A and B are shown apart, each in its own frame.
Chain A
Amino acid sequence: MDNGLKMFSINELAEFLNVSKKTIRRHIASGKIESTKVGGVHRISMNSINSFLNINKDIAQVDANINKELLRKALTNDAHKKNLFPFESRVPEGKMEDKWNNHKRKINLVSPANKRLIDVIVVGTGLAGASASATLAELGYNVKSFCFQDSSRRAHSIAAQGGINAAKNYQGDGDSVYRLFYDTVKGGDYRSREANVHRLAEVSTNIIDQCVAQGVPFARDYGGLLDNRSFGGVLVSRTFYAKGQTGQQLLLGAYSAMNRQVNRGKIKMYARHEMLELVIVGGKARGIIARNLITGKLERHSAHAVVIASGGYGNVFFLSTNAMGSNVTAAWKIHKKGAYFANPCFTQIHPTCIPVSGENQSKLTLMSESLRNDGRIWVPKKKEDVKKILEKKLKPTDIDESDRDYYLERRYPAFGNLVPRDVASRAAKERCDAGYGVNKTGEAVYLDFQSAILRYGKEQAYSKGLDVKNNSLVEKLGKEIIKQKYGNLFEMYEKITDENPYETPMMIYPAVHYTMGGVWVDYNLMTTVPGCYAIGEANFSDHGANRLGASALMQGLADGYFVLPYTIGDYLSSDIRTGKISIDTKEFEIAEKEALRKLSFFIDNKGSKPVDYFHKKLGRIMWDKCGMSRNKLELKDAILEIKKLKKDFYKNVFVPGELYDYNEELAKAGRVADFIELGELFARDALEREESCGGHFREEHQTKEGEALRDDENFNFVSAWEFKGSESNPMLHKEKLIFDSVELKSRSYK
């Protein structure tokens, strides 16, 4: 019989698609699935399934040609193994709790004597890069680390404020590895790979032990034990912190571990270097071309494996909470050399940032999510109050309690001010779009600490035996507690806005903060280019469509300390006899020439507009059309506009100075060129994903109450994009997501 003629029963199809039989019957009834009745029972052909799933044409063809025997096998045993995705995700077999341990037991190892013969390049020295460099060097590999900053200690992980999650259950409030796993999958709106998230939750506890052993000064209580606080989207306190500088302390911990290895000669540090090309030899990643940012010279560096830990691409929006230098270049270069880029449209817009103040603003500043533990978010209930505030006739503190709309507490009573970031951001936008924004741009809401100040003050007064009814005393005591908890954040706010947040509520508004999307990796964190790995924010794997607070630090360190150093051995075990990789080969020469060609183009270009002009324009398109809410029309528009911008950029960009010299404009030009290309893919991905999930909100897909409407039947997959040359469109591959341990549910925080 012909392969394409296999007919499915409803049972089989339901199992195959991982949906209920009822759903299949409904679709047959509505005509969405074409079915033929054979002897009174429904039978569905492969072709009608394909047209129902609207699968990419090429893939559909592959499917139709699948051997019938294979198909039956896939249907009867483990349906999820049948994967149209061209790469294996390499998720190990077994029960969820055992996968990682089993995997570690089974993977190949490299002996200590052989590790000395193997070189590894790590690009980026944030939490993921620094921890990976240190651990790989401890294990005995020869590590070369690269960062564009003047010191590895300045990577942008340093700016993370709030904390790091770990399932330690020190508070005895019912936390567990499973709960952290569950919260993260749910928080990510069921768009992450289950097994990766479970592993993350498992190693989370090791991270805290490791950091404490390194001398990271976490906050402690009076008994000398570690203190915790709570973050958005969860019902337990599992966040470890060091005031508002957790990222700094963790990064400096990883930096110290790196320094130890630099001192031993196991890490060679290349600061002020930027990776410009990946070099592939014999189908494997074997090195990079880097530019020394001081001399401007190009350098060839070889290794047996290349690890990309270059962070996220939030700066595609120009204004974001990322550092000025944060860029997508390393990730984008490997994408153009064959690494798939996954879920580019999954971007996190953080709800609590200082609002934009003027035209010349260069970046946005985050106010830690931890503030939502004690701050209450509100806007006035009455529009006339809004008007009076803008005219400075009324102060926010004058508005009566009953005239305030604590909209998060109103809409989400269970989680209140601690709903996940995507939900909080959209709610703020909704209020501001409705005309309740409280600053001149109409894009700000209040974050108010008054009730926390009174609450803490009363506690203090009571425990010290002072007069609880003395308001000024209570306020004073309360402010001291708030100062202890968030002192540096309050100071920072005051410096930037010139307003004292102890006296008047903070003004905040959402801003681009983190990118869940990134380079596609398998369970071993290897990209689709053999020997090229991506870790930390640079990869896509753990946060799905939305990241929970205090999980970025956890993922960065988990990847770098506890996952990559193990999994990379599996690949490198075949390289023990390879010997040093020569840099005097054709492949290196070609890659170097390619990098040189691009740089010379910018220097020789006779344009007139500075790089920032284009970057700001790109940012505007992205924020307006691919920002907090998106729709088909605008996304299509965005793609066209970005194409136009790209032309304009290459024609009119002006880069002064010389190639072989310190030249920041030249470095920026290269980064913006990559951002423009990424921006287009971003919009394309957002357009393809016809559902709302996590940070990706499509206006066409929402409930009557304006909540996100996910479509698990059609979009329960990872979008992995393959680069097909700069003249043709990228190709979409879908890695289907399987949820064995967590039931797919609509996410509710009400």
Chain B
Amino acid sequence: MKLNLKIWRQKNKDSKGKVHDYELDGVEEDMSFLEMLDFLNNKLLNEGQEPVAFDHDCREGICGSCSLFINGVAHGPERGTTTCQLHMRKFKDGETVYVEPFRAKAFPVIKDLIVDRSSFDRIQQAGAYISVNTSGNTQDANTIPIPKHNADEAFNAATCIGCGACVASCKNSSAMLFTSAKVSQFSLLPQGQVERESRVLNMVNQMDLEGFGACTNTGACEAQCPKGISVKNIARMNREYLLASVKK
């Protein structure tokens, strides 16, 4: 099949970018979206041109490297799917496809489709951990039974891959879904109780410092999250935050 690609090209964070047009023939249905971009890059390279830069690594939907705003939707039209697992069979022959980077104040563009998501790391560094040293003498893993329901809920929150689709699809560029997923995981587990209050306060504080917006409950984040992280986590974080602030 043949595609009309409109791809954002930008030399570096200080330069202005713009949309470039590429016509690409010979795209196969079984290609993933990133393989289609490989195919385009191969063509560009054979013509002696610079390839389109984009983030990618595991290509099995778990590392969270790939991003891309495809036709105005984070990770493209297929729900619950990262760009690397989106296949070209979801597109039509002759279709025009817009490819842009994730856009947010806290995600500056590095080059072409690559953005800097280190703000996410800094939110995690502010408190997303349980302070336990590696000693080899921690208590036996089965001494604290955890109700299956809580363990499963914590797990569901913990499956966030940190791709940033929630931020990119939020009109306020809010990182509430990302931050709340981690806060939820630990607040649901007995191990997370000791630092429960300081954790939520510090993480939310860092989130605000990074320049992410506020949440206005539109739910776009959940709808476009490739891992289906629930907005219930945001509600939980708000509750945790309120409680912690009052106790402070």
Contacts and interface: CB of A to CB of B under 8 A. Distances in A.
B159 A248 contact: yes
B30 to A, nearest CB: 5
A495 B30 contact: no
A132 B41 CA distance: 37
Contacts of B114: 662
A357 interface: yes
Contact of A245 (B34, B49, B121, B159): B159
Contact of B64 (A153, A213, A363, A661): A153
B30 A357 contact: yes
A249 B158 contact: yes
Interface in A230-259: 242-243, 245, 247-249, 252, 255-257, 259
A135 B134 contact: yes
A562 B133 CA distance: 11
Nearest to B130: A215
Contacts of B138: 206, 209-210, 212-213
Nearest to B189: A215
Interface stretch (B51-59, B98-106, B169-177, B234-242): B51-59
Contacts of A263: 125-127
Given A215-B186, A562-B136, A661-B12, 18 more contacts: A151-B117, A151-B118, A154-B58, A214-B132, A215-B185, A248-B161, A249-B158, A256-B124, A321-B60, A324-B59, A361-B30, A362-B35, A362-B59, A366-B60, A495-B85, A498-B89, A610-B45, A665-B45
B242 to A, nearest CB: 22
Nearest to A267: B125
A155 B46 CA distance: 31
A734 to B, nearest CB: 34
Interface string A591-631: 00000000000000000111010000000000000000000
Interface stretch (B1-9, B144-152, B213-221): B144-152
B63 interface: yes
B39 interface: yes
Contacts of B57: 149, 154, 156, 323-325
A301 B164 CA distance: 31
A501 interface: no
Interface string A297-321: 0000000000000000000000001
Contact of B189 (A217, A269, A492): A217
The list of the 4 closest CB pairs from A to B, nearest first, reads: A224-B145, A256-B129, A610-B45, A217-B155
A52 interface: no
Interface of A: 131, 134-135, 138, 149-156, 158-159, 168, 170, 203, 206, 208-215, 217-226, 242-243, 245, 247-249, 252, 255-257, 259-260, 262-263, 269, 271, 294, 321, 323-325, 357-358, 360-363, 365-366, 491-492, 495-496, 498, 561-562, 565, 608-610, 612, 654, 656-657, 661-662, 664-665
A358 B31 contact: yes
Interface of B: 12, 28, 30-32, 34-35, 38-39, 41-42, 45-46, 48-51, 53, 55-65, 78, 80-81, 85, 87, 89, 110-111, 114, 116-118, 120-121, 124-134, 136, 138-142, 144-148, 151-152, 154-155, 158-159, 161-162, 185-186, 189, 191-192
B225 to A, nearest CB: 14
A505 B206 CA distance: 48
A249 B62 CA distance: 11
Given A138-B133, A242-B155, A245-B159, A154 B192 contact: no
B118 A271 contact: yes
Contacts of B35: 360-362
B151 A138 contact: no
Contacts of B136: 203, 206, 210, 562
A150 B55 contact: yes
Nearest to B56: A324
Nearest to A491: B80
Nearest to B27: A360
Contacts of A138: 133-134
A362 B124 CA distance: 32
Most buried by A among B45, B61, B64: B45
A478 to B, nearest CB: 20
Contacts of A661: 12
B81 to A, nearest CB: 6
Nearest to A610: B45
A425 B63 CA distance: 27
A679 B80 CA distance: 38
B58 A156 contact: yes
Contacts of A159: 58, 60, 62-63
Contacts of A221: 148
16 contacts: A149-B63, A149-B65, A153-B162, A154-B63, A156-B63, A210-B136, A213-B138, A226-B142, A245-B159, A249-B155, A256-B129, A360-B38, A492-B60, A498-B89, A656-B48, A662-B12
Contacts of A203: 136
Contact of B151 (A210, A220, A609, A662): A220
